[in-house]
Structure 1
Amino acid sequence: MKRHKIYWNLLFAGLGAVICSTTACKKDFLDQKTLSAIDEAAVFQDSTRSLGVINNLYSNLGISFNPRRFNNTGLDAACDESEPIGDPTIYTYKISSGGINANNADGGLWRTVFQMVRASNIFLKNKAGIPVSDATKDYWTGQVRFLRAWYLFTLLKHYGGIPLIGDKIFDGNEKIDVARSSYDACIKYLTSELDAAAADLPLSYRPGDVNQLKVTKGTALAVKARMLLYAASPLFNSGPRADDPEHLLTFPAADPERWKQASDAAKAVINLGVYSLYTSSATPLYTLFLQNTPQEEHILVYWQPWTTSNNFYIEASSNPPSRGGMNGWAGSRYFPTQELVDEFDMVTGLRITDPASGYPGIGNDMYKNRDPRLTYTVHYNGAIRSMGSFGDQPVNTYTGIIPPGNAAVTSASVDGIYTSTGTLTGYFRYKMCNGGGGELYRPWVVMRYAEILLNAAEATNEYFGPTSEVYNWLKMIRSRAGIIAGENSLYGLKAGMTKAEMREAIRHERRVELAFEEHRFWDVRRWKIAPQTENAETHGMEITRAANGSFSYRIIPVRRHVFTEAMYFWPIPQSELTKSPALKQTPGY
């Protein structure tokens, strides 16, 4: 069946939008042509076509989360979580080297967001005429208002204050010159929009419901909780900046009550009683991300198109060449850092720097008896991974003497450190990858319940201190991970922590639990610790094999990253400033 599209002529020059399209799910739509006023009326007089407009709004939901957003890398390759291949033209490499400015800034997010905002506003203008029941109309409106708010929040976390246009739709000949709104105004507007969306969305769907892949009340409240957590954080909530008199990047004054607002918002999601941690497997943190049906931990999920090109999407840029090659991919484009690996505790829950942890130090046993999340997140030398017809085989990341044998034995020649195709750090990403080696359809889990527990823990600790609730939320996550409870059932957590000690414990837990989920890049910025974490060298593990099969180990520097004060936010692309002079560039650029 031929698939037709409608093209919205988005004459939205001042906000950088260009032509975008909406596609009906499983129906023929309209012949390809510029959408006239008559065509617009026809679309919204047809319920199927109207639904197609909504479905298209989901199509860019994962734009920021995308693990291959920039040259087959995601934002984890622009911070201390992973290291991209040594190519200075890769955007994530440019970010972490301090090389981004208004003239070379990526404009894809800015354009896409305002495309989605315009499409949302056109829907909202026409919703009254859609021939469906009032209940369906409200439900559809809730989705559209949520998605519009989601896209604007995505833009907000990159740039600070953004232009707020509300429901406005600019005519083709209308000059568009909209200034950025203050950060405070953006938070208030998006909070109101997310609350309104939540009121129109269902609490949950029955299994098999045709709408079960859509957003819910909990989705809207969870995004609000994340947004308010960001807003309460030091980057935005430490008082005004001298170089930002319009308060585009901060609130006019610091207010500790914002932490309570964030705590209350996260608790509201918990109290819905519809989410829980996924435990339906002996290896939950591995299998959770391979599920192709909605799960109890899912809150916001991008159900990418069910096509072969997406079935091996993450593996295409993170698999070892010995594994990726068998599926037609070139191999990994980014590599976990030693800094990330060292964050994983021992299975007792004690940090490897704790003398009581039993960590043996660098050597043959350094990956043994660790937090089980290590093996499901990162593959190191000796980790077991499927290798096609060879079955489960060790990943070989070493250098030195490679023994003769079949491809499984000699895989260090393509995967090993210092080879032209191998790892830069001695590690490969494994989280979200299909260890079975074959293609597997699964979505991107953009938000999940574990994050909400961590959001609640952080905000509650900052306002009330380390309450029993805070301890319990962390214990739930660590228990599910496979950490040993211990005699005091604290899963390695220290009893009687101060607020500062609990803060560090929560930040540590976020780094481990949420690795490669687009959190670390933003967390170090909102906490204002990026000058320490990003203005530093990344490291790897050099393992050398001798002729007798023994190994020697050495931590090596990989690359020094650069971070400046301006880099807390992104520069607005110069092309957008040229189109809309009222836009003010982000301070520092």
Structure 2
Amino acid sequence: MKKISIFLALVVFAFITSCKRDFLDIVPDNIATIDNAFTNRNEAEKYLFTCYSYLPQESNIYQNPAMLVSDEFWTYWPITSLSRLPSGPQQIARGNQSLTFPLLNYWDGESDGKAIFRALRDCNIFLEHVNEVPDLDASQKTIWAGEVQFLKAYYHFYLLRMYGPIPIIDKNLPITATTEEVRVKREPLDKVVDYIASLMDTAATKLPISIQNRSSELGHITRPIALSIKARVLTLAASPQFNGNSDYSGLKNADGTALVNTTFSVQKWQRAAEACKQAIDLCERAGIRLYKFNAAVSNISDRLKLEMSIRNSVCEPWNQELIWGFTNGTGSGIQLQAMPRLDVARSGNESTLGQLAPTLRIAELFYTKNGVPISEDKTWDFSNRYSLKTATGADQDYLQNGYITAALHFDREPRFYADLGFDGSQWYMQNKTWPVQAKAGQGQSRRAAFGYSITGYYSKKLVNWKFVIQDGLSYTQEQYPWPIMRLSDLYLLYAEALNEASGPSEAVYQYLNLVRERAGLQSVQSSWDTYSINPGKYRDQAGLRQIIHQERGIEMAFEGSRFWDLKRWKEASSTLNNGVYGWDIEQTDATGYYRPKLLFNQKFVAPRDYLWPIKENNTIVNPNLVQNPGW
């Protein structure tokens, strides 16, 4: 053990900061030895769960950079200890990332980041020893090895997406390794991508197509997960951030090895499209399909049933659309952060915060009821979208009858009303439909220095419809696994890859329209031909690219996709260098409230902010590690 400890210290010293490792979750009797961890099935299973334990919790706004680092949500500032909000992500969103002490540091496992390199070490240990477990049958050894091979590939991908080219940790170094050997270097991005894809392919051959024992194995990796995430990896590699990006021409190792190929390759898009189709075909074999609400609820309108198809594609536990659900998913955290204080008559109302606030920019992203952007619909008054309008009985499923709200909130697509709560909206839940009234002094308005929406919008999409506020600062809720990957995401990746590989086609329209149909919209062709001021937009590659990007932004809203999409499309530098706006929530009347209020002017520095910085001390300790551009 002394030799092992020395070896681990060297590796950690080389490419992550020093840290204390707690082995109590994987070995008996406080004896921290690798041998004890694989003496029997139970102990080996503990080590398997340790390999899983490093998975970043995507629904945790403290851990997931995609939630509060972009422009999708905004929060009040400053954030105090009472706020129940993380300040680190908002610091990054405000341009305050640090080279000396990076925020959300997944390289070193600091500042709410998981220690991913430590995860890779534990995955390698598991794979080296799983075949030694005496009471584990051969088929289970194969499946567990496949799960950990996938996790190992996924951890490499997580680092790649944040940092770009990374070291490949295929095997743990021997304890006899020299100082120079532990000073790992970054590998060319294409090599890392090929390594990840190959490892996911290998894992897929060992994994079951579906979970056999749902009472004990939900959350374990399956073959559809492996191939779907592989499709996501290859789509990232084909996207403009890493495919022909001259911004990285100077990113080279000390020996001159270029780390990013700056020559565009359409073959990367073709490879991504093939991977997406392979994953889609397997998902269909596994019975994975777009979710449709079919609960025995007879007293709601068809419009509300459509809304529940949209909302419950995320919030219904283990529904048929879910490809990969993270079991340590939603807990109370994100639902409390998303849901306003709906039930003002109960003391438990104070438990909900509603401070995960969508921005006005996102509210404007959603289509009109005709399925085209609000700036393109020739029947929709875009220039007067902030003017006041009174809801009538015809709007009652969406809006409160007789209530004055912004014209922006009228005649929008079903996903707008399914995903967003706002002043004048209706919030349907299993126990009741709640009116949202958020101007100063009203039920859902700001009441204190924390626990409110700074923009006037709420992320309804993230709240399960069975959430019930009770007395005594309590509530009941149905938790759901966080959707790391669902089928509509995969459909849209496939449509994007096909369009980039060869331009518009019936196959591109087919997969776009499957997502739109579930959302209650006409086809892309019909919507643009009938309602758009640019009816031919979907017929050329550039126009269809814009449509696909916006469709992804809408369909995947609030799920942690937008931040990474803007980066891989190289659109972050244009999108995240603008003002963040919400409504003027301190006003009591509609005229004062419905004035767009500037909350912050974002600053995104390109190419620096497209990649996370490697902590400065790491590059000092290990001179083989070159820093990312701009840091």
Question: Quick check: 1:140 aligned with 2:144?
Answer: yes
Q: TM-score, normalised by structure 1?
A: 0.86
Deviation at 1:439, TM superposition (A): 2.2
Are the structure 2 counterparts of residues 296 and 392 from structure 1 closer, same or farther at C-alpha, using a change threshold of 3 Å? closer
Q: Secondary structure at the match of 2:208?
A: coil
Deviation at 1:250, TM superposition (A): 2.4
Q: Distance in 1 between matches of 2:325 and 2:428?
A: 27
* 2:209 alignment partner in structure 1: 203
* 1:46 alignment partner in structure 2: 40
Any idea what the Cα deviations from partners look like across 1:166-187, whole Å, max 9, x if unmatched? Answer: 1124539964311111212211
1:97-496 aligned at under 5 Å gives the runs 97-106=94-103, 108-110=105-107, 111=109, 112-131=115-134, 132-169=136-173, 171=175, 175=179, 176-206=182-212, 208=214, 210-240=216-246, 241-246=248-253, 250-272=260-282, 273=284, 274=286, 275-281=288-294, 282=305, 283-292=308-317, 294-304=318-328, 311-320=331-340, 326=348, 329=351, 331-359=353-381, 361-362=385-386, 363-364=388-389, 365-385=407-427, 392-399=433-440, 402=441, 409-414=442-447, 421-435=451-465, 436-437=467-468, 438-484=476-522, 488=526
Are the structure 2 counterparts of residues 343 and 10 from structure 1 closer, same or farther at C-alpha, using a change threshold of 3 Å? same
* 2:82 alignment partner in structure 1: none
Q: Distance in 2 between matches of 1:458 and 1:249?
A: 26
Q: Secondary structure at the match of 2:461?
A: coil
Any idea what the Cα deviations from partners look like across 1:223-279, whole Å, max 9, x if unmatched? Answer: 111111111111111155332134666225321110100111101111112321111
Q: Secondary structure at the match of 2:408?
A: coil
Aligned residues: 555
Q: Mean Cα displacement is larger for which, 107-116 or 46-55? A: 107-116
Q: What percent identity do the matched residue pairs reach?
A: 26
Q: Aligned partner of 1:138: which letter?
A: T
The structure 1 residue matched to 2:89, chosen from 71, 88, 92, is 92
Gaps of 5+ in 1: 1-6, 403-408
Q: Aligned partner of 1:425: which letter?
A: T
Any idea what the Cα deviations from partners look like across 1:31-83, whole Å, max 9, x if unmatched? Answer: 234x13xxx223212012112211222223234x243225xx75232112121
* 1:60 alignment partner in structure 2: 54
Q: Aligned partner of 1:171: which letter?
A: I
Q: Mean Cα displacement is larger for which, 178-187 or 256-265? A: 178-187
Any idea what the Cα deviations from partners look like across 1:97-150, whole Å, max 9, x if unmatched? Answer: 222121130364223111211111111111221222322211111000000111
Q: Distance in 2 between matches of 1:432 and 1:497?
A: 34
1:5-44 aligned at under 5 Å gives the runs 11=9, 12-16=12-16, 18-21=19-22, 30-33=28-31, 35-36=32-33, 40-44=34-38
Q: Mean Cα displacement is larger for which, 157-166 or 321-330? A: 321-330
Are the structure 2 counterparts of residues 487 and 454 from structure 1 closer, same or farther at C-alpha, using a change threshold of 3 Å? closer
The structure 2 residue matched to 1:571, chosen from 613, 623, 626, is 613
Once superposed, what is the RMSD of the aligned Cα atoms? Answer: 3.2
Deviation at 1:519, TM superposition (A): 1.3
Q: Distance in 1 between matches of 2:462 and 2:426?
A: 15
* 2:575 alignment partner in structure 1: 533
Q: Is the 8 A contact 1:350 1:357 kept in 2?
A: no
Q: Aligned partner of 1:354: which letter?
A: E
* 2:112 alignment partner in structure 1: none
Any idea what the Cα deviations from partners look like across 1:272-322, whole Å, max 9, x if unmatched? Answer: 123211113421221232223x332111211018xxxx6312023333356
Q: Is the 8 A contact 1:118 1:169 kept in 2?
A: no
Q: Is the 8 A contact 1:183 1:248 kept in 2?
A: no
Any idea what the Cα deviations from partners look like across 1:180-221, whole Å, max 9, x if unmatched? Answer: 112122111111111111111112234636434311111111
Are the structure 2 counterparts of residues 422 and 556 from structure 1 closer, same or farther at C-alpha, using a change threshold of 3 Å? same
Q: Distance in 2 between matches of 1:107 and 1:74?
A: 7
Q: Distance in 2 between matches of 1:299 and 1:22?
A: 31
Q: Secondary structure at the match of 2:323?
A: strand
Deviation at 1:520, TM superposition (A): 1.0
Q: Aligned partner of 1:303: which letter?
A: T
Q: Aligned partner of 1:508: which letter?
A: Q
Q: Is the 8 A contact 1:332 1:423 kept in 2?
A: yes
Are the structure 2 counterparts of residues 328 and 422 from structure 1 closer, same or farther at C-alpha, using a change threshold of 3 Å? closer
Are the structure 2 counterparts of residues 440 and 578 from structure 1 closer, same or farther at C-alpha, using a change threshold of 3 Å? farther
* 1:82 alignment partner in structure 2: 73
* 2:564 alignment partner in structure 1: 522
Q: Distance in 1 between matches of 2:128 and 2:583?
A: 57
The structure 2 residue matched to 1:69, chosen from 62, 73, 84, is 62
Are the structure 2 counterparts of residues 290 and 562 from structure 1 closer, same or farther at C-alpha, using a change threshold of 3 Å? same
Q: Is the 8 A contact 1:460 1:470 kept in 2?
A: yes
Q: Distance in 2 between matches of 1:509 and 1:387?
A: 26
Q: Is the 8 A contact 1:121 1:169 kept in 2?
A: no
Q: Is the 8 A contact 1:106 1:573 kept in 2?
A: no
Q: Is the 8 A contact 2:24 2:30 kept in 1?
A: no
Q: Mean Cα displacement is larger for which, 254-263 or 435-444? A: 435-444
Q: Aligned partner of 1:414: which letter?
A: R
Any idea what the Cα deviations from partners look like across 1:383-409, whole Å, max 9, x if unmatched? Answer: 2347999x543222224xx4xxxxxx5
Q: Mean Cα displacement is larger for which, 103-112 or 155-164? A: 103-112
Q: Distance in 2 between matches of 1:150 and 1:517?
A: 18
Q: Secondary structure at the match of 1:299?
A: strand
Q: Distance in 2 between matches of 1:449 and 1:520?
A: 17
Q: Aligned partner of 2:290: which letter?
A: L
Q: Distance in 1 between matches of 2:517 and 2:429?
A: 31
Q: Distance in 2 between matches of 1:90 and 1:114?
A: 25
Q: Is the 8 A contact 2:584 2:592 kept in 1?
A: no
Q: Distance in 1 between matches of 2:380 and 2:166?
A: 50
Q: Is the 8 A contact 2:341 2:443 kept in 1?
A: no
Q: Mean Cα displacement is larger for which, 337-346 or 312-321? A: 312-321
Q: Distance in 2 between matches of 1:143 and 1:200?
A: 8
Gaps of 5+ in 2: 80-85, 110-114, 295-304, 390-406, 469-475
